[in-house]
Amino acid sequence: MNAVIKLVPGREKSLKRHHQWIFSGAIGQVEGDPAPGETVRIESAKGEFLAQAAWSPRSQLAARVWSFEESDTIDRTFFARAVERAVAMRRDLGFLNPDGGCRLIAAEGDDLPGFTADYYAGFIVIQAASCGAEHFKRDLAELLMEATGAKGVFERSDLSVRAREGLPEAAGALIGDAPPELLEITENGVKFLVDVRHGHKTGFYLDQRENRKLVAELVKPGFEVLNCFAYTGGFGAAVLKHGAGSVVNVDSSAPALNLAERNFKLNGLAGYTNTAGDVFELLRSFAQEKRFFDLVILDPPKFIDGKNSLTRGCRAYQDIARLGFSVLKPGGILATFSCSGLMTPDLFQKITADGCLDAKRSGRIFRKFTQSPDHPVALGVPESAYLKGLAVKA
């Protein structure tokens, strides 16, 4: 018999709209003594069934919903159905190819809050961010191996958010073969080396897959491109392959740029320079030198990671937009992104407009970007739509 968690009166509303998160402030009575990661039954204050969820007693996010069905049993069979549905979706998208990369499980977006899995050329890399995901990670890893025929599952749960759950960081080969030092994937006809052990997240920013293609298609022969926050050269390689004359890649991480260098060579691409440094500083000096570009790409890290950093983060997005516009040739294009979940598309558009005014330029949006479809959005969890972008012609 699962423990029963009764919510504070009135706090059942978001669950009835199938939001998957239950904050500690909504927890009323705890009947039983559930262990971290154990499945609990969530009821309204009146005792009405609401959901079955994973218990995270130490976290602000005290429970995450596995199912809104009373009749479900949360066991390996339940997770097998979720994994099969998620993998089938990627297959139907044409994203699950032996030499490709794609997100297999996008946490909330696949109704598996706290759990992420990516596929890279025959290997899977997982991240378990919550007690519930930790509890079932081996089952999920085995099921993913079965569903995809992958050779092994590597874990990258070296996540600072685990501390909030009372979980230690964990990384290493979990089941099957260990992946090689570098895996090679092909995305939109471009080859990339992925370092699943040391790279950011699970090694590659798969959420920008479609946008790398869409941005590359904006390039006219000979375009001079500035690729800010370049990481391992994703956008840079895509635009060079599409006929750009030159690309300046900027990132603060030297190891990321070293891998970018290898990626450009792997594809036989020329015309790139890689600059390790701070994008804000570099853009300021380019503006002073009156060095202008046909296309400027801004794909910064998450500047807003909670309500406390909202004002500061918005300021950073506005600054970077101003600096980006200030190095655009007349008629040039700014492709600008935000991966902060708390930044709504409307707010991002407004901040981009403010940055454009600050640079004393004018601009028009002619394309909007969103996260790749292998990062689906749960209708009940609006926060799972996190990536937005704009192409603006100055």
List of residues contacting ligand SAH (CB under 6 A):
205, 208, 229-232, 234-235, 250-253, 256, 278-280, 299-301
Q: Find the shortest distance in angstroms from Cβ 379 to ligand SAH.
A: 27
Q: Find the shortest distance in angstroms from Cβ 295 to ligand SAH.
A: 14
Taking CB atoms, the residue at the shortest distance from ligand SAH is 234
Return d(Cα 268, Cα 279) in angstroms, integer.
26
Q: Which is nearer to ligand SAH, 123 or 231 (CB)?
A: 231
Cβ(107)–Cβ(113) below 8 Å: yes
Q: Find the shortest distance in angstroms from Cβ 340 to ligand SAH.
A: 12
Q: Which is nearer to ligand SAH, 19 or 197 (CB)?
A: 197
Q: Find the shortest distance in angstroms from Cβ 260 to ligand SAH.
A: 9
Active-site entry in 102, 228, 314, 339: 339
Locate 352 and state its tokens: 């981009």
**Residue 339 known to be catalytic:** yes
Closest C-alpha among 356, 354, 366, 370 to residue 393: 366
Q: Which is nearer to ligand SAH, 56 or 211 (CB)?
A: 211
| Inter-axis angle of helices 279-289 and 310-326, nearest 10 | 30
Q: Which is nearer to ligand SAH, 213 or 329 (CB)?
A: 213
Active site positions, annotated: 339
